[in-house]
Amino acid sequence: EVQLVESGGGLVQPGGSLRLSCAASGFKFSSYGMSWVRQAPGKGLEWVSFISTSNIIYYGDSVKGRFTISRDNAETSLDLQMNSLRAEDTAVYYCARDWGGLIDFWGQGTLVTVSS
């Protein structure tokens, strides 16, 4: 069974940093691209970042230059380092398995709140 379990969310002040992690299991992690997708409270879904099996990386315009995605195939984990956080980054962040742009499995999400 595919499982994606996020951790690391919490309350952070504007301008602060936070690191999210996602523990993957139930599939061959090294064979899949992975994405982060977020959802602001009461809002829709926004793609944040993608990392391929060969570490090719893409970011959405709203996070470019502030967020860094990485993966560890040995540990089957995915990370998202978030710097210079803004109020508008407040959202539930989902770790997602990405098959050529198609998200076929989602974690349960971790809430990030940026507020003073």
Partner 1 sequence: ETVMTQSPATLSVSPGDRAALFCRASQSIRNKLAWYQQRPGQAPRLLIYDTSTRATGIPARFTGSGSGTEFTLTISSLQSEDFAVYYCQEYANWPPGITFGPGTKVNIK
| CB neighbours of residue 92 within 10 Å | 19
Q: Any contact of residue 103 with partner 1 (CB under 8 A)?
A: yes
CA–CA distance, 7 with 23 (Å, rounded to integer): 8
User: Which of 91, 94, 112, 114 contacts partner 1 by CB under 8 A?
Assistant: 94
Q: Any contact of residue 47 with partner 1 (CB under 8 A)?
A: yes
12 vs 107 by CB, closer to partner 1: 107
For CA atoms 24, 9, 102, 105, the dihedral sign is positive
31 vs 44 by CB, closer to partner 1: 44
For residue 68, count CB atoms less than 10 angstroms from its CB and return exposed for 0-12, middle for 13-18, buried for 19 or more.
middle
16 vs 112 by CB, closer to partner 1: 112
Among 22-30, 42-50, 69-77, 78-86, the segment contacting partner 1 (CB under 8 A): 42-50
Q: How far is the CB of 83 from partner 1 (least distance, A)?
A: 20
For residue 56, count CB atoms less than 10 angstroms from its CB and return exposed for 0-12, middle for 13-18, buried for 19 or more.
exposed
Interface positions with partner 1 (CB under 8 A): 35, 44-47, 50, 56, 58, 60, 94, 100-109
